[in-house]
Amino acid sequence: MHHSPAPGTVEAWAYEYIGARSLAHKLAPPAPPSHWEAPPLVRNVPAPGRPPELVPARRTRDVPEELSDPRARAKLLHSFFQHELQAAELMCWALLRFADAEPRFREGLLGICRDEIRHMNIYQAEIERLGFRVGDFPVRDWFWQRVPLCASKLEFVALMGMGLEGANLDHAPFFGRRLMRAGDTRAAGVQELIAREEIGHVRFAVYWFERWTNGQSFETWRAALPKPLSPLLMRGKEFDRQARSSAGMNAPFVAALESWQSSE
């Protein structure tokens, strides 16, 4: 389950990326090879390597309410950097964990991983523009604590793609507006870019969910979320119906997600 893939394969590239403890490697890995393992072997990588610059938070990080201070904006963008890092790693995790999935699906995961790495670099540049560096704020591996609960490729696209990345369709424009109100048009523009590109990531997940379930049932999606996770975590404070529609979610699904309330 844990032996390294053969050198020169996409799987070896993904395996190395997850385990890397160099911030430089996380930000700028070599281009992935064109050769895939044959036959691909299932590997479940339990945890990522963490560069020494990224210090774990001792408690839940508070999202800054007032963003007029450059330090508060840098702290916010630093948390987004960490989200992108985890997303890049978890695309690699899924590529290895669901090695028996369709080649097109795994190729898509690799493409999304590279998008997330590009986003990390954009956030790093913005953090440095504000006078800070990656590593100046503690981080949490929230996604890593939850996404590996997925036991199937269906659960992965339900949680990571339609769920967490879907929620970012709400979060990115919400924080973009807050950054704009704080007068930081550059950072707000980054959030606009991320929101736009996230639509394609969610659309990818919706496509495979529909393919594997022969539809887009909200209840089927909800049942695929690893317990105890619920739809409440998969939407932001301001729900963006149009973005979800652009990502391929149909009107009944969007309405059910927006209105869903826990019965517990």
pLDDT tens digits along 32-64: 999 999 999 999 999 999 999 999 987 765 667
Of the residues 145, 170, 194, the one at which a domain ends: 145
Instruction: Output the pLDDT for position 178.
Output: 95
Q: Assign 128 a pLDDT band (cuts: 50, 70, 90).
A: very high
Q: What pLDDT score was predicted for residue 65?
A: 74
Domain match, 168 and 264 both: yes
**Do 208 and 251 belong to one domain?**
yes
State whether 194 and 96 are in the same domain. Answer: no
The answer to whether residue 58 sits within a structural domain is no
For the chain, how long is the longest CA-to-CA vector?
53
Same domain, 172 and 233: yes
Whether residues 88 and 182 fall in one domain: no
The pLDDT score that the predictor gives to residue 113 is 98
Q: What is the mean pLDDT of residues 20-36?
A: 98
Angle between helices 70-97 and 103-129 (to 10 degrees): 160
Instruction: Reply yes or no on whether the pLDDT at 17 is more than 90.
Output: yes
Q: What's the count of helices (H) and strands (E) in the chain, helices before strands? A: 10, 0
**pLDDT value of residue 141:** 95
Banded model confidence at residue 2, pLDDT cuts 50, 70, 90: low
Per-residue pLDDT tens for 152-168?
999 999 999 999 999 99
Question: Quick check: 233 pLDDT over 70?
Answer: yes
Q: Can you tell me the mean pLDDT for 187-200?
A: 96
Range of the domain at 181: 153-264
Same domain, 135 and 173: no
171 and 232 together in one domain: yes
Mean pLDDT is lowest, of 57-61, 125-129, 232-236, for: 57-61
Q: Which two tokens stand for residue 176?
A: 């973009």
Sorted by sequence, the CB contacts under 8 Å of residue 227 that are 6+ apart come out as none
| Residue ending a domain, choose from 111, 145, 179 | 145
**Burial zone of 224 (CB within 10 Å; 0-12 exposed, 13-18 middle, 19+ buried):** buried
**Domain ends where: 127, 145, 163?**
145
Domain co-membership, 170 together with 217: yes
In terms of domains, do 126 and 193 share one?
Answer: no
pLDDT score of 7 more than 70: yes
Do 135 and 19 belong to one domain? yes
> What's residue 4's pLDDT?
87
Q: Is residue 183 part of a domain?
A: yes
Q: 131: pLDDT confidence band, cut at 50, 70 and 90?
A: very high
Share of the chain above pLDDT 70, in %: 97
Average pLDDT along the chain: 95
pLDDT for 123 beyond 80: yes
- In this structure, are 27 and 123 located in the same domain? yes
Residues 6 or more apart whose CB falls under 8 angstroms from that of 196 comprise: none
Q: Does 243 lie in the same domain as 123? A: no
How far is residue 223's CA from residue 229's CA, in Å, rounded to a whole number? Answer: 10
Q: Is residue 77 very low, low, confident or very high in pLDDT (cuts 50, 70, 90)?
A: very high
* In a domain? residue 257: yes
How does residue 262 score in pLDDT terms, banded at 50, 70 and 90? confident
**Overall domain count for the chain:** 2
